[in-house]
Amino acid sequence: MNFNDLPLTSVDTLGNLLAQIKELTDKADAIKDAIKDTASAGGAKVVEGNLFKATYMESNRSVVDNKALLAELGATAEQIARHTKTTAVFSVKVTSR
């Protein structure tokens, strides 16, 4: 049987779509990286195309290391448990066969 003759299920369609999305995301990320590299090296921060414009922006992000902060403040495991919220998370993982 030829691979192209196999009937596709919804899972096969999902896997195919996710593979296409990954390929497109990889291509988009490569273009973004090239723009970032050029702009961060002193090049153009705005790149204009015929239909779209890309603008390179820099910003700072701050993140609190909660584990280190709680340890420094001497929080006990019981105190941490009282203030920890747990929620159910559902996901679907797709792999090729």
pLDDT (tens digit per residue) in 13-48 = 999 999 999 999 999 999 999 999 999 999 999 999
Find the radius of gyration of the CA atoms of the chain: 23
State residue 7's pLDDT score: 87
Token code pair at residue 74:
């001497």
Residue 3 pLDDT class (50, 70, 90 cuts): low
* Rounded Cα–Cα distance for residues 8 and 36 (Å): 40
Looking from the CA of 92 toward its CB, the CA atoms found within 13 Å total 5
Q: Is it the case that residue 2 has pLDDT exceeding 70? A: no
**Is pLDDT of 5 > 90?**
no
Global confidence as pTM: 0.72
pLDDT exceeding 70 applies to what percent of the chain?
A: 97
